[in-house]
């Protein structure tokens, strides 16, 4: 077995959801989940099929995001993984709907941070061991940091 890391390439401010599913209908079901949760969503989705034709399946509402998702999953190459790139919304807007898709097994991360995917490869194929989402902590939140966090969440409309 060989282990290695693949970084997900994306613009710094672009949010993503990276996960694992188990069936080819994942593409249609995830698109429906995003579209019904956020009707004006701009997104690109790719899914690595693990059997049959073993294609990188894809769909979305933004061709550039869709192709970026495909290029990333071609490099990751782990069966039954999906990458959803979100252009004009945060993962929190769609995570509940994604979790409710029956074939979704796991969400590895939902973030705008730099992401590295830790992979294992055998003669059968590749699997995800985990992800590295962003950097390590630089300290502990103080009162001013807490105030900034509260203000940020209200400014972006996630808290009243």
Q: What digits encode the pLDDT tens for the residues 66-94?
A: 999 999 999 999 999 999 999 989 999 99
Whole-number average pLDDT of the chain:
95
CA distance 56 to 68: 12
CA distance 89 to 51: 32
3-state helix, strand, coil in the chain (%, to 5): 30, 35, 40
CA distance 15 to 84: 9
Tell me what pLDDT residue 25 has. Answer: 87
Mean pLDDT of 11-40: 93
**CB contact set of 159 (below 8 Å; sequence gap of 6+):** 150, 153
Q: 122-135: per-residue pLDDT in tens?
A: 999 999 999 999 99
Range of the domain at 92: 2-155
The count of domains in the chain is 1
Give ∠ CA 128-71-63 in degrees, rounded to 5. 125
Look at residue 160 and tell me if it is in a domain. Answer: no
* CATH classification at residue 136: 3.40.1520.10
Does the pLDDT of residue 106 top 90, yes or no?
yes
CA distance 88 to 37: 13
Mean pLDDT of 9-36: 94
Tell me what pLDDT residue 156 has. Answer: 84
Q: Which residue has the tokens 């103080």?
A: 142
Q: 114-123: per-residue pLDDT in tens?
A: 999 999 999 9
Tell me what pLDDT residue 11 has. Answer: 95
Q: 26-71: per-residue pLDDT in tens?
A: 999 999 999 999 989 999 999 999 999 999 999 999 999 999 999 9
Q: Which residue has the tokens 């939902």?
A: 110
């Amino acid at each position: 077995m060989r282990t290695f890391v693949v970084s997900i390439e994306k613009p710094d401010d672009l949010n993503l959801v990276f996960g694992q599913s188990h069936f080819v209908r994942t593409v249609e079901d995830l698109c429906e989940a995003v579209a019904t949760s956020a009707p004006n969503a701009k997104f690109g989705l790719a899914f690595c099929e693990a059997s049959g034709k073993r294609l990188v399946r894809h769909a979305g509402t933004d061709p550039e995001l869709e192709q970026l998702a495909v290029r990333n999953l071609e490099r990751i190459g782990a069966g039954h993984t999906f990458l959803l790139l979100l252009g004009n919304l945060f993962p929190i807007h769609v995570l509940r709907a994604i979790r409710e898709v029956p074939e979704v097994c796991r969400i590895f991360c939902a973030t705008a941070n730099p992401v590295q995917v830790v992979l294992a490869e055998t003669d059968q194929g590749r699997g995800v061991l985990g992800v590295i989402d962003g950097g390590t902590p630089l300290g502990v939140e103080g009162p001013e940091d807490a105030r900034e966090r509260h203000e940020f969440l209200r400014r972006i409309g996630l808290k009243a």
